[in-house]
Amino acid sequence: MARAEIAARTLRTDRWWLPPLTTFVGLLLISIYAAFRTFQGDYYWVDQYHYLTPMYSPCLSEECLPAAAHFGRPLPELPGFLTPPVIILPFLLGFRVTCYYYRKAYYRAAWMSPPACAVAEPHTKYTGETRFPLIAQNLHRYFFYAASILLLINIYDAIVAFGTGVGLGNIILLVNVGLLGAYTLSCHSCRHIAGGRLKHFSKHPVRYWMWTQVSKLNNRHMLLAWTSLVFVCLTDLYVALVASGTISDLRIIN
């Protein structure tokens, strides 16, 4: 027996191409901005108000400004065009790239596998996540652990910045860690580790409670993935503008 003979790739009449296109453009713009700021190697620290952009935190190599290196500079100067963020970027990128939401986003938008539901993909062969390199998506939980440590460092940065008073930058840094925290906690691996892997919730009431709370956040994983990503860029932009003297920080106290 054969399938129904329908030649059209899809018979969908709605604008099914719009969400993958929007996602692609969004991810591309953010990638370009992040790459530019990473390799710019400047305007990441506002000495007057102790604002450190999350993209350069922690700053660990010799070329970091001493005041911005909250955890010292244990690494030597990086060769060539490399800048301090390249040390932490693999972990942050790894967390986002292996994230179950972003996987959906770029599989659809960039790889078109499939571009939208019930729209045929252009590839003749498909092996999913069964072999290298995509089998490495299973490492998501390790990137989650790494991203959690970096989040704690970002929280520390946001708190120490209050040592010079309170400005708009402080509020931005605080909102940023709030969004990053919510995104990290809403992660599917976090949900699994918190309690999802249990078979008997009734025997583990605390972990069951944790699982229910993470599950609530997990329902909004996509929203948190985008808001936290965009806000990190906005936070970085604000710090860059203040650090370069383009704008001055709006001070509330001091």
Partner 1 sequence: MSYQGKFRVWRGDDTGGALEDFTVEVNEGEVVLDIIHRLQATQAPDLAVRWNCKAGKCGSCSAEINGKPRLLCMTRMSTFTEDEVITVTPMRTFPVIRDLVTDVSFNYTKAREIPSFTPPKDLAPGEYRMQQVDVERSQEFRKCIECFLCQNTCHVIRDHEENKEAFAGPRFLMRVAELEMHPLDTADRVDSAQESHGLGLCNITKCCSEVCPEHIHITDNALIPMKERVADRKYDPIVWLGNKLFRRS
Footprint on this chain of partner 1 (rule: CB under 8 A): 1-6, 10-14, 100, 103-104, 107-108, 113-114, 117-121, 123, 125-130, 134-135, 138-141, 188-189, 192, 196-197, 199-202, 208, 218-219
CB of 21 to partner 1, least distance (A): 16
CB of 137 to partner 1, least distance (A): 8
CB of 149 to partner 1, least distance (A): 15
Residue 114 or 167 having the CB closest to partner 1: 114
| Paired strand residues for 52 | 45
| Paired strand residues for 253 | 166
Helix-helix angle 85-97:18-40, to 10 degrees: 160
CB of 215 to partner 1, least distance (A): 9
Residue 50 or 108 having the CB closest to partner 1: 108
CB of 229 to partner 1, least distance (A): 19
Residue 20 or 58 having the CB closest to partner 1: 20
DSSP code string of 129-197: TSSTTGGGGGGHHHHHHHHHHHHHHHHHHHHHGGGG-EEHHHHHHHHHHHHHHHHHHT-HHHHIIIIIT
Q: Helix (H, G, I), strand (E, B), or coil: what is residue 199?
A: coil
Residue 219 or 244 having the CB closest to partner 1: 219
CB of 210 to partner 1, least distance (A): 13
DSSP code string of 14-35: S-TTHHHHHHHHHHHHHHHHHH
Helix-helix angle 205-218:221-243, to 10 degrees: 70
Residue 73 or 221 having the CB closest to partner 1: 221
Quick one: DSSP state of residue 201? Answer: G
Residue 72 or 205 having the CB closest to partner 1: 205
Phi, psi of 10 (to 5 degrees): -155, 155
